[in-house]
Amino acid sequence: MKKSQKSKVKSQKSKNHPEYQYLNLLQDILENGVDKPVFNNPGVTIKSVFGRQIRFDLSKGFPLLTTKKVFLKGIIYELLWFIKGSSNIKYLVDNNVHIWDEWAYQRFVKAQSQNSKVKSQNHKSKVKGEEKVFTQEEFIQKLKELPANDPFVLEWGDIGNVYGVQWRKWRTSDGRIIDQLAWAINELKTTPYRKSIVVSAWNPEFIYEMAAPGKSMALPPCHTLYQFNVNNGRLSLQLYHRSADIFLGVPFNIASYALFTMMIAQVTGLQPGEFVHTFGDVHIYSNHMDQVREQLKREPRSFPIMRLNSEVKNIDDFKYEDFILEGYDPHPPIKGEVTVVGGF
């Protein structure tokens, strides 16, 4: 085979890499996206498209993007936090994961700016003899230093009815608490052929104007719901993602739900199938355009392999140490600023 032919074959194989689904979606948004304002944050805009889908066969590698390094530690700890059904970020900050810091801090600052009564007696600090409101770094450090049962942590570390709460502690009008995830796992073990194994995070009781005063979610769930499907002993999961930050959020989400699918497959005695990622509004923030163009210059590398501790048979028993990633060789990270939006 001639050198030019070999180069052409290599190029064709590269273009078949599943990561190109993500890169092509970036290009699609750049070329076809519509410019829109951002709700509750007038400082930035987005360029967005609506109604897209990508999918990853989990038997062909773990879809941790390689065209920029992705923070796997944060993905694992956040997923374990969701599975715990927690709404308090202390577990995350204790493990040096700061994905949700802005939402807790935003709530704290708003309470003070509205002269709301802060339940902790020590919510201010003195710097050079002058009293001042905490910076975000000081606020997070205080959450980390205090015990989990401290009133300040209980009040200001909590960000409301986020994903894990809806998955594990959905409150009904008649006072019951439904553990949707436990129900789904039982269904997969007993009646895996059912087409109604769906877990929803979209609870109108806690979303914006529909919520009772003071009960609104920090962020109406972007990951609205997910559905399980079993074919020939393989478990697949489809996520409906109503609003997706393609540059910062989606690489995390792909890896998180792919890992989640693998975990559920293990505890239900199934093999991992596909992770299917269906988008509503998928967008690039105006302050991420240069980063996206930089990422599009890069060529994907082989996906790594994720190995789970095979001894774990209960979804609540997974620990950070139960996950081993092998063969991850990404391009360098590309930093971008988080744009905080939401219901506060």
Known catalytic residues? Answer: 222
Question: What are the DSSP calls for 62-91, one per residue?
Answer: ----SSS---HHHHHHHHHHHHHT--BTHH
The H-or-E segment that residue 25 falls in is helix 20-32
Q: How many residues does the chain have?
A: 344
**Counting Cβ atoms within 10 Å, is residue 325 exposed (0-12), middle (13-18) or buried (19+)?**
middle
Q: Residue 232: what residue type?
A: N
CA distance readout (Å), 10 to 3, 6, 16, 24, 302: 11, 6, 10, 19, 13
**Largest CA-CA distance found in the chain, in angstroms, rounded:** 77
Backbone angles phi, psi at 198, to 5 degrees: -125, 135
DSSP 158: B
DSSP lists the bridge partners of residue 271 as 234
How are beta strands 271-285 and 234-245 bridged, if at all? parallel
The H-or-E segment that residue 145 falls in is helix 136-145
**Counting Cβ atoms within 10 Å, is residue 25 exposed (0-12), middle (13-18) or buried (19+)?**
buried
CB count within 10 Å of CB 172 equals: 9
Q: Residue 133: what residue type?
A: V
